[in-house]
Amino acid sequence: MAPDRTFLLPVVIDDTPQTDERIPDRFRELQWTRCPGGQASPAFIERVPRLLSPAQAHAPTTARPATGQASTATPTSREPVRASWRDNPGLLAIVVVVVAGGLAYFAIDKFWASKQHPSPPTPPAAAPASTAATAFAPPPHSIAVLPFVNMSGDKSQEYFSDGLTEEVLNSLARINELQVAARTSAFSFKGKDVKIGTIARELNVGAILEGSVRRSGHTVRVTAQLNNAVTGFHLWSQTYDRDLSDVLALQAEIANAVASALKVTLLGDVAPKIEAGGTRNPGAFDAYLRASKAYREHQNDKDLQAAIAGYTEAIRLDPEYALAYADRSIAFGGFASDWTTGLGARRDYFNKDQADARKAIALEPNLAQGHLALAVLFEASLDFLRASQEYNRALALEPGNARLLTNYGWFAVVMGIPRLAWPRRTVRWRWTP
């Protein structure tokens, strides 16, 4: 941990670029190496023991290493990063432990294997198909929703196909009997030519829902197809031609069809859950999808303001759009909790945040997103007891909501809760740096 000793060796095992703003600050101070797919190259294996040896500790390099080669902890140029409370020493310690653990695995396992077998290491042979099929046993009633393909012939309509996919995913997540892979995990395969079986094993799900969206004005054609990822057999498919005002009913129809194909016994009618807080106004729905995309991908205050403007337009077109109020509340919270904003402006954003969250609950008391907005609001105002109560209320309504689980997870870490009272269901996490 002294400046002249190699201690941190960041290893990238995916295609994360160096300019990604989510990279921890500490990593930006160091050069890193790449092991695509987690596979260590011979050069990497040979380099790591030398880096860790006392003789090499005082000889830092200055050139950026080639792909697959390790480097000492040499400072590089820093990229501006948007400050976040999550970038704290406690979290950094966890990240360091994860990296150190992975490094130890490569250094010990691969290095000692190379000592016992001097010949150049080769990639491990693939297991026989029968063995792999036997080993793959995903949880029952587990599913991933892949991004629906935009068939409109207009790249600018991508927000609509992605947004509709997310709405269908959220509809399925409201069915307690289903286990649905999170959006971040499923959307990581967007635009990639990957076999269904590979995706299913990566996400540990037994079924894959895919489809396409073709929009023309206020009408939309949605084609959905469900596949059994274990057997590879087709389970169900359907084409829907709908007016945008019927999208809520369409989401419920698809969710029911998927549940039926997976032989899920539903506990009551799921349609009220799916349609709660939504809208039947085509313009409001379109504005909401645009705003959600802007918020999801926002990088700066200008993007966040664009998201707020989109939610505001959706509310203008449908003043009873509870979901739009809830999401706008959370967007306002981004400014209310930003300490770089002036005190007066922060107080104004806080008041708007609170008004929207309460309006969402008033319109739809059983809207989990509304209770999440209140939880985030109370958390920002340091009212942790009420924040905990709202988180628990939201979890009771939608135990499969990935966004909710993520927020509650961070809250529990900050609060030092040793054991989370998760709902009785399996929750799988996939951290994407």
Structural domain range at position 385:
294-415
Residues in the chain: 433
Predicted confidence band of residue 427 (pLDDT cuts 50, 70, 90): very low
| Spatial CB neighbours of 297, under 8 Å, sequence gap ≥ 6 | 303
430 within domain boundaries: no
| Spatial CB neighbours of 138, under 8 Å, sequence gap ≥ 6 | 200, 204, 205, 206, 229, 230
Residue 139 shares a structural domain with residue 230: yes
Last residue of a domain, one of 65, 83, 116: 116
Predicted confidence (pLDDT) per residue in 334-392, tens digit: 877 766 666 777 788 888 989 999 999 999 999 999 999 999 988 888 888 999 999 99
Predicted confidence (pLDDT) per residue in 78-126, tens digit: 333 333 434 444 444 444 444 555 555 444 444 444 444 444 455 555 5
The enclosing H or E element of 354 equals helix 343-363
| Residue 250 and residue 187 in contact, taking contact as beta carbons nearer than 8 Å | no
Q: What's the predicted TM-score (pTM) here? A: 0.62
269 within domain boundaries: yes
User: How far is residue 13's CA from residue 234's CA, in Å, rounded to a whole number?
Assistant: 33
Residue 52: per-residue pLDDT: 67
Residue 192: per-residue pLDDT: 87
How many other C-beta atoms can be found within 10 angstroms of the C-beta atom of residue 59? 11
Residue 221 shares a structural domain with residue 327: no
432 within domain boundaries: no
337 within domain boundaries: yes
Higher-pLDDT residue of 259, 129: 259
Give me the CATH number covering residue 234. 3.40.50.10610
**With 70 as the cut, is the pLDDT of residue 398 above it?**
yes
**With 70 as the cut, is the pLDDT of residue 132 above it?**
no
Residue 62: per-residue pLDDT: 39
How many other C-beta atoms can be found within 10 angstroms of the C-beta atom of residue 11? 17
287 within domain boundaries: no
Residue 275: per-residue pLDDT: 86
- The residue to which tokens 């206020």 are assigned: 218
288 within domain boundaries: no
Residue 174 shares a structural domain with residue 304: no
Residue 298 shares a structural domain with residue 271: no
Residue 96 shares a structural domain with residue 183: no
Residue 31: per-residue pLDDT: 57
| Residue 323 and residue 277 in contact, taking contact as beta carbons nearer than 8 Å | yes
Residue 298 shares a structural domain with residue 404: yes
Last residue of a domain, one of 214, 247, 275: 275
**With 50 as the cut, is the pLDDT of residue 317 above it?**
yes
| Residue 357 and residue 374 in contact, taking contact as beta carbons nearer than 8 Å | yes
Predicted confidence band of residue 418 (pLDDT cuts 50, 70, 90): low
Residue 39 shares a structural domain with residue 141: no
Residue 232 shares a structural domain with residue 315: no
Residue 225 shares a structural domain with residue 326: no
**With 80 as the cut, is the pLDDT of residue 49 above it?**
no
Predicted confidence (pLDDT) per residue in 201-251, tens digit: 999 999 999 999 998 888 899 999 999 988 888 889 999 999 988 888 888
Cross-strand bridge partners of residue 213: 150, 222
3 within domain boundaries: no
Instruction: Report the chain's mean pLDDT, rounded to a whole number.
Output: 76
Question: What amino acid occupies position 422?
Answer: W
**With 50 as the cut, is the pLDDT of residue 160 above it?**
yes
User: How far is residue 310's CA from residue 285's CA, in Å, rounded to a whole number?
Assistant: 10
Per the structure block, which two tokens stand in for 192? Answer: 């990639």
User: How far is residue 433's CA from residue 425's CA, in Å, rounded to a whole number?
Assistant: 25
| Residue 144 and residue 185 in contact, taking contact as beta carbons nearer than 8 Å | yes
Once rounded to an integer, what is the mean pLDDT over residues 167-180? 87
Residue 382: per-residue pLDDT: 85
Residue 271 shares a structural domain with residue 361: no
Residue 145 shares a structural domain with residue 106: no
User: How far is residue 151's CA from residue 153's CA, in Å, rounded to a whole number?
Assistant: 6
User: How far is residue 48's CA from residue 7's CA, in Å, rounded to a whole number?
Assistant: 11
Residue 19: per-residue pLDDT: 63
**With 90 as the cut, is the pLDDT of residue 327 above it?**
yes
Predicted confidence (pLDDT) per residue in 4-13, tens digit: 565 667 787 8
Last residue of a domain, one of 116, 147, 164: 116
DSSP 31: -
Which range is most confident: 93-107, 239-253, 263-277, 407-421? 239-253
1 Cα distance to chain centroid: 33
121 within domain boundaries: no
Residue 122: per-residue pLDDT: 53
Residue 26: per-residue pLDDT: 60
Residue 288: per-residue pLDDT: 94
| Residue 377 and residue 369 in contact, taking contact as beta carbons nearer than 8 Å | no
Predicted confidence band of residue 313 (pLDDT cuts 50, 70, 90): very high
DSSP 210: E
Predicted confidence band of residue 37 (pLDDT cuts 50, 70, 90): confident
Residue 174: per-residue pLDDT: 85
User: How far is residue 270's CA from residue 172's CA, in Å, rounded to a whole number?
Assistant: 9
Residue 79 shares a structural domain with residue 182: no
- Structural domains of the chain, count: 3
Predicted confidence (pLDDT) per residue in 53-79, tens digit: 655 544 444 334 333 333 333 333 333
Residue 20: per-residue pLDDT: 64
Residue 73: per-residue pLDDT: 39
